[in-house]
Structure 1
Amino acid sequence: MKTNWISFLLYLLIISGGQAQTIQEKLYAAGFENIQVQKKKDSLNIFFEHREFRSPYHSMHYAGLLLGQENLKNISWIPVYHNTPVGKYRAGTYEYSGLTQDDRQFYRHHNNFQEDYRFHFRVHPELSARFGYYSDPFQIKLNLILDSRIYLAPGLSLQSGIAIPVQNNLDAQDTRLRLAPSMLHYFLQPVNFHFFGLSLGTFYYDRYGFDLQYRYNNLNSAWSFGLETGLTGFYWMTSGSIYSEDANNLHAIADVEYRLPIENLSLKLSAGQFLFEDLGGRLDLIRQFGTVDLGLHVSATDAGVTGGFQFAFSFWPGTLLRSKKLELRTTEEFRWEYSYNNEEPVARRYRLGIPRLDDVLRQYKSDFIQNMK
């Protein structure tokens, strides 16, 4: 009898191990990475990351289609962002819950960031524009960026690449190949709902230095709160040389965001000291349309008043080339912002080369994901 029980237990282990391997192989072939399958008593937790999709809804929905709806009754998805689990979503209903200590321990034990990611190359445009000069009404600076992200440790990555100039009648920078904005970035969620992002390197808008972000965001709540600060300086790369100034521009901004009862509409109020040390505030109204965000904003600081719009979307067509260890794709998020007062430095911020925490976590909100069904 004892021998029969041992044989039965071994059989169960073999079956569950085979199931996990089948899930991992099927998802990895479809572009998923860092796939970990945690076998519970009567359910499965599936950790994964898919860098092509801007919204985790699309990755979870795609995984469900691959595995078959009949297999989703006891599955919870745990999407991973920059090698860090964000939360747990029930397959089918997409109900959100925070991570348990057991979830975190399992992921830490099985996370193999050196082998479970493909080597990604990402293509995306960098666009700056100024409209309205009588002699040159459309001034545009357009670069094509080819960059990559390499994971060095759990949550820690290095991003770098090249910038390929396409057109520039906006400023005096030449059209030679140069290094794209490059940085070390560390993303973590030490406890549920508390997110941190630390970046060190060169950023867009010709800035270098460090940037620190914190955000409290219960993804079931309409409210979220954030802080960001950084110390940066100006740098200029042209003709094979680099000019830089001291990093002495300190910014510190606090914000509160509320999701209105109107579907997928958020109101965000930011206040503090902005990039060029002007004090004031900014109000954003942001509407999420699936994979596209559209927003309006107004700002008032001691440097002046301005307003404008922004948008963000995944760049077509997505995956261009994929093999077992290599992927070439377009960017998961292209973001552009315009302000009508583009001469005065009113409430200016720089882009990091990756989305800021508020823009990332807005995609993980449980009501937004459930509205996508």
Structure 2
Amino acid sequence: MENIRCIQTSDITTVSFEDNVYRGTYRGVGKAIEACLQSKTEGNLQLVVLENQIPRLCISLPDTLIKAYRHEEISLAQVYQQMGITVDTDRAMEALKEAGKEKASSAWKMDIVVYPDLFLENNTFDELYTYAINLNPAIEMALWKGGRLTAQVVLPVATNLSGEMKRVRPGVIVLSQDVRLRHNFFGRLTVGNFTNNRIGAQLEMKYRNNNGRMEFGASIGSTGFSAVTSDEGWYVSRRQRINASVTTSLYEPHTNLQFDLKASRYVYGDYGVRGDCTRHFGEYAIGLYGIYTDGEINGGFHFAIPLPGKKWSRKGFVRVKPSDYFAWSYSMIADGKYIEEKMGGSYNVRPGENRSSGFYQPDYIRYFLIRELQRKKSS
């Protein structure tokens, strides 16, 4: 683990840590809980889970639960069932202010991550219209608390398209800053070159309730057009387009379903509403979506599947690894007014954004920690 801090009082031990080794969000949490249960701590225990040094979750284990496990009166699965897990980290982070400098800092360590990229677009059910296969290596580096640098290049492998799609070109090149405010408010400012030929800046804010089942967010962006051309090289337009959105999300823990509803002003000026329903199967996320914008209806599906390699240790300052997930989205409509007028136009500010990566949902983490134990016992 990295960015480890610890402080002990007479009745409670508070530890913060960041997992940059294990794929997904729940495996690292499980490893940290097991390590603490096997230690010689006294009293209650609370763990703060970090992402890029920003607190995401707080896990609490009362002294009675820890003693029962150490005396083999209950199993690890029962510990997971009875432990507290919440988005609220304010009190724990207040206690850690006196903990001093963190150990095993993640700052200025570099990952070279290779992202697979697939583009398919169909006009009919029986004929492939266009395709593109790319490999997109990216340098990703944590700079300071909440600060991250990403620099990606797109390397074409095969395509039946022409122009920019056949050229080596810049991918996502951004500097981002995340912040966490009190009472479960999060913010992010991102500046740079985004996906879908957009370059500019985006500001995001969101609020999560304590159990993480409800989330409300808003974003606003100002971007111009960015592309590699044969005449001008890397061309960037001066014209800025404003996009904005408000979002609400609901996680239903009994079925592991995530519902997202977003109202947006899209990049090219159209207004619309999009709804997503995503089912989480461990680290797999598969979903359907529908969108209505300026009188046009579209829809499709998306998924994120984990790639080989559950654990990638970082022994030095440079690590080379594939991306944790392959994410892909399919759109039902690929021609007509919807495409000609670029309706529903949007972009991502990070490579390979998907609904599995960084999914710090308390019910999801508890459920799949227990499922992972059951899977190991049955295998």
Fold match by TM threshold 0.5? yes
Query: Offset of 1:371 from its aligned partner?
Result: 1.3
- Distance change in 2, residues 1:261/1:125 (3 Å): closer
Greater displacement, 32-41 / 319-328: 319-328
How do 1:190-339 residues align onto structure 2 when only pairs under 5 Å count?
190-238=181-229, 241-260=233-252, 262-302=254-294, 304-318=296-310, 322-339=314-331
SS at match of 2:163: coil
Q: Which residue identity lines up with residue 4 of structure 2 in the other structure? A: I
Distance 1:319 1:166 in 2: 27
Q: 1:41 offset after TM fit, Å?
A: 2.7
CA contact (8 A) 2:25 2:357 kept: no
- Indicate how the Cα distance of structure 1 residues 322 and 100 shifts in structure 2: closer, same or farther if over 3 A, else same: closer
- Other-structure match for 1:8: none
Which residue is 1:49 aligned to?
18
Q: 1:332 to 1:122 in 2, by over 3 A?
A: same
Please tell me whether the aligned partners of residues 35 and 116 of structure 1 are also in contact (alpha carbons under 8 angstroms): no
Distance in 2, matches of 1:365 and 1:248, equals 35
Q: Does 1:128 align with 2:119?
A: yes
TM-score if structure 2 supplies the norm length? Answer: 0.79
What is residue 89 of structure 2 aligned with on the other side?
A: 99
For 1:321 and 1:53, the matched residues in 2 are separated by 8
| 1:151 aligned onto 2:142 | yes
Of 54, 57, 60, which aligns to 1:87? 57
CA apart distance, 1:136: 6.3
Structure-2 change in CA distance of 1:76 and 1:138 (3 Å): farther
1:369 corresponding residue in structure 2: 365
User: In the aligned structure 1, how far is the partner of 2:135 from the partner of 2:27?
Assistant: 26
Contact 2:217 2:248 in 1 (8 A): yes
Classify 1:149/1:111 alpha carbon distance in 2 versus 1 (closer, same or farther; 3 Å). farther
Partner of 2:149, secondary structure, is strand
Contact 1:215–1:225 (8 Å) recurs in 2: yes
- Using the TM superposition, name which of 119-128 and 92-101 deviates more: 92-101
**CA shift in 2, pair 1:68/1:55, >3 Å:** same
> Displacement of 1:262 after TM fit?
3.8
Q: Which residue number corresponds to residue 340 of structure 1?
A: 332
| Alignment TM-score, normalising by the size of structure 1 | 0.80
Shift of 1:69: 4.6
Unaligned runs of 5+ in 2: 62-78, 371-379
Aligned CA distance change for structure 1 residues 251 and 321 (closer, same or farther; 3 Å): same
Output the CA distance in 1 between the equivalents of 2:225 and 2:104.
Answer: 34
1:61 corresponds in structure 2 to 30
Aligned residue for 1:346, secondary structure, equals coil
**Contact 1:129-1:170 at 8 Å conserved across structures:** no
Percent identity, aligned pairs only, is 23
Equivalent residue letter for 1:297: Y
Name the aligned partner's letter for residue 87 of structure 1. Answer: L
Call closer, same or farther: CA 1:210–1:256 in 2, change over 3 Å: same
CA pair 63-283 structure 1, distance change in 2 beyond 3 A: same
SS, match of residue 173 in structure 1:
helix
Alignment check: 8 A CA contact 2:5 2:103 kept:
no
Task: Please say if residues 21 and 314 of structure 2, whose CA atoms lie closer than 8 Å, have aligned partners that are also in contact.
Answer: no
* One-letter amino acid of the structure 2 residue matched with residue 339 of structure 1: S
The aligned amino acid for 1:281 is V
Q: Which runs of structure 2 are paired with 1:343-362 in the superposition (5 Å)? A: 343=335, 344=339, 345-354=342-351
Structure 1 residue 152, shift from structure 2 partner: 3.1
User: Structure 1 328/320 Cα, relative in aligned 2: closer, same or farther at 3 Å?
Assistant: farther
Does the C-alpha gap of structure 1 residues 116 and 158 become closer, same or farther in structure 2, counting only changes over 3 Å? closer
**One-letter amino acid of the counterpart of residue 364, structure 2:** F
Q: Counterparts of 2:206 and 2:354 in 1: how far apart (Å)? A: 7
Distance in 2 (CA, whole Å) between partners of 1:323 and 1:201 is 30
Is the contact between residue 53 and residue 314 of structure 1 (CA under 8 Å) also seen in structure 2?
no
Higher RCO (CA-CA < 8 Å; seq separation 6+): 2
How big is the alpha-carbon RMSD for the aligned residues of Structure 1 and Structure 2?
3.0
Range moving further from structure 2, 65-74 or 245-254 = 65-74
**3-state SS, counterpart of residue 293 of structure 1:** strand
